[in-house]
Amino acid sequence: MQVYLDNNRLTQVDPQVLGAMEPFLKEPYGDLHALHARGASSRKEFLKALEKLYAGLHAPEESDIFFSSGSAENHSTLLMGIYSGLILTGRKNNLIISERSDEAMMEGAGFLESQGCKVHKLPVNKEGIVDPESLYDYLTPHTALVSVPMVDPESGAINPVEEIAEICRRYEVPFHTDATHALGKIPIDVQAFDPDLLSFGGEAIHAPAGIGAVYLKDSFEWMPTIFGARNPWERYRGGPLNLAGAVGLGKAIELASDALEFEMEDTRDLRDRLEEELRTLPGVTPLVAWALRVPNTVLFAVEGLESELMLYELDRGGVEAYACTVQPFGNWQRRPVTDALGLDPRLKHSTVGFALSRFTTEEEIDHTIKTFKEMLEYLRSFSTFKELSYEQK
Amino acid sequence: MSKSETLRNPFWEDFRFKVQMLIERPKNKGVLSEEEAQQLQADLAVHDYGRPEEGMQLRWYWAIDRENGRVVACRYTLFGPPVLLAIADMAALLVRNKTLEEIEKINYKSLEYFLRDNPVDPALPPERRFALTFVLRSLASAVAAQRGERPEASPLVCECAGIDKATVEAVIRDFDLQSVEEITDYTRAGAFCKECIAPGLSPKPREYTLSDLLKATRQEMEEERSTQSSVPEKPFKEMSLDEKRAAITAVIDRYIRDMLVMDGGDMEILDVKENGEHTDLYIRYLGACSGCASASTGTLFAIEGILKQKLDPNLRVLPL
């Protein structure tokens, strides 16, 4: 049995999404900019997808949503726009992001920093979330943007974006949030918390990777960095558009928001079962309080076992999980989430996480629990940590 | 990046057969108890090296024979990635039946050679080599502790990986490293927070950084090289027969002999002859090598390969 529990990185494409995309992959279709019947039918499907995005986010009439290629492009374009529009002209010189923002945001911020812009990284507190109060320490009249992701993809912690958005609104600073890992897991209503920008990629909501979208409040001035717009839908990002992806993303959002409540209820039950079973094992602790987490994610610190060895053993047992420190290519994270949470440094290399999706079944969770227990027993039989804390508990 | 670098698969899928087998079925893992050591008429020595906060820890259990001082049984427990498991298991195998002096002689080349599937392909991709140097350092530290030596503490360069100045300098020298990335491959220093890589990357000033150490050590190496060169600095082809013999001996001592000694074997040079454009080297295997099936195949190719690479492609090795 092969169990995939790395759904915060990539999800399988939903068969219904694939069904919606199929005509654009298998059959001839027309360009959005074409003047013929096929162009017209493409436009019709495209506008339907766009409408689903408006509905899914509950976006107001006077706002813009456009398609992009995903999170990395969203964040890069946003930062480059800020750079050329506000920082080069000397109007603003200061940027605030979360220390747990994604790689694109971090690297982009690093570039802005090298160009003389001051970048502040909001720390996460012991609960794993950004404390809205900490924003006051960094906000100045020269702040060009505040960007905090809605959900941390590793720990699953939900940031209080409503309060952060409220503070930003009071100080008249644009607020951006990355909703990639929140979509389909928690309800999102942009009219309720009113961010200036909200962006997401499709890979975490059962749409294919390589498609994403950006929501813009009417007052925000977005500077495109990909040129070549031929029609109003491409004015923020040059085309031709990935039409199949756009239609798929529309369908995925529709599915995610329609079935959010009861699907997440099921996922939460399965996740809780996994969490309850594993947390009783000695030296296994879930990180981030249950109530502050998205329903599909649980991250454990396992005393005395190294992440990569755990992943290797789990993988041999047919369970595909993730860890916070270890990545291929010999890269390690600069500051893993355990450090951000202020945990014992001995747990830094000992995390293993499970992210469920709506396709995860009960049998799969049973198999995961069984495999995890076997893995724990086997690896602990020759772990150096054995004599230390957990046996004394 | 080149095409071959781009197409290289850097993770588990690219583990060689032997390394993978060692990870999945380690034979020497576990704990040795005081009673087990007693039964073997041996003293138990337990030695810890590394810390979990640095990502790797190895605990050696050696049962050391009271009479001849050989390690008669060796086990380990560990905290670390799969590749460390493979290397520690191989090292435990090599340590067995050796005296402390012999354990001290285990070096990177010999240990790495034993992890290879075949004599020519390296056992590990570059970014996994840190585990090998870690195991070797743990062995050296265990030997030193066993003798009651307390090596001088060297200042830390990388706090995240727990790598000190002496280690960084040693790997630069031993492996002739040219860049900071290579230091990271061999030690994992600079892999985590990246603050120790160069001055200015850290919020607070640092006494040592990897790039400074690299520059200083390379300069020292250059100076040493210019003052002492035992083998004449000219192409192998133009050397006299005596000079050729000296050059071949130097290469064998430096790169080959350790590898054979690890298996309880050895070799000697009988003669060096010029044969047209070829140079023929006549050798005799000693110890365990004589009569070994691999002596006329794998081992021979390895010896010839190293000599060809280091000296001249027209060299031939003929075992008698």
What are the structural domains of chain A?
15-258 (3.40.640.10), 260-392 (3.90.1150.10)
Mean pLDDT of A307-335: 85
Same structural domain, B196 and B268: no
Same structural domain, B182 and B259: no
Name the domain boundary from B179, B205, B227.
B227
Residues 299-318 of A with CB under 8 A from B: 304-306, 308-309, 312, 315-316
Segments forming the whole domain that contains residue B135: 3-146
Residues 124-183 of B with CB under 8 A from A: 126-128
Q: Which residue of A has its CA nearest to B31?
A: A382
Q: Do B193 and A334 touch (CB under 8 A)?
A: yes
Q: Give the confidence band of A316 by pLDDT, cuts at 50, 70, 90.
A: very high
Same structural domain, B19 and B114: yes
The predicted complex's ipTM stands at 0.89
Same structural domain, B8 and B108: yes
Domain containing residue B190: CATH number: 1.10.10.1100
One-letter-per-residue 3-state SS of chain B:
CCHHHHCCCCCHHHCCHHHHHHHHCCCCECCCCHHHHHHCCEEEEEEEEEEHHHCEEEEEEEEEECCCCCEEEEEEEEECCHHHHHHHHHHHHHHCCCCHHHHHCCCHHHHHHHHCCCCCCCCCCHHHCHHHHHHHHHHHHHHHHHCCCCCCCCCEEECCCCEEHHHHHHHHHHHCCCCHHHHHHHHCCCCCCCCCCCCCCCCCCCCCCHHHHHHHHHHHHHHHHHHCCCCCCCCHHHCCHHHHHHHHHHHHHHHHHHHHHHCCEEEEEEEEEEECCEEEEEEEEEECCCCCHHHHCHHHHHHHHHHHHHCCCCEEEEEC
Q: Which of A322-331, B22-31, B197-206 has the least mean pLDDT? A: A322-331
Residue B57 included in any domain: yes
Residue B151 included in any domain: no
Q: Do A316 and B56 touch (CB under 8 A)?
A: no
Residue of B30, B55, B77 with shortest CB distance to A306: B55
Average pLDDT, chain A: 91
Domain containing residue B94: CATH number: 3.90.1010.10
**How many distinct structural domains can be found in chain B?**
3
- pTM here? 0.84
Same structural domain, B121 and B17: yes
Residue A68 vs residue B15, higher pLDDT: A68
Residue B27 included in any domain: yes
A382 and chain B in contact, CB less than 8 A: yes
Q: Give the confidence band of A392 by pLDDT, cuts at 50, 70, 90.
A: very low
Residues 257-276 of B with CB under 8 A from A: none
Mean pLDDT of B244-259: 83
Residue B269 included in any domain: yes
Q: Which pLDDT belongs to residue A199?
A: 96
Domain containing residue B248: CATH number: 3.30.300.130
Residue B169 included in any domain: yes
Same structural domain, B98 and B173: no
Same structural domain, B42 and B74: yes
Same structural domain, B99 and B180: no
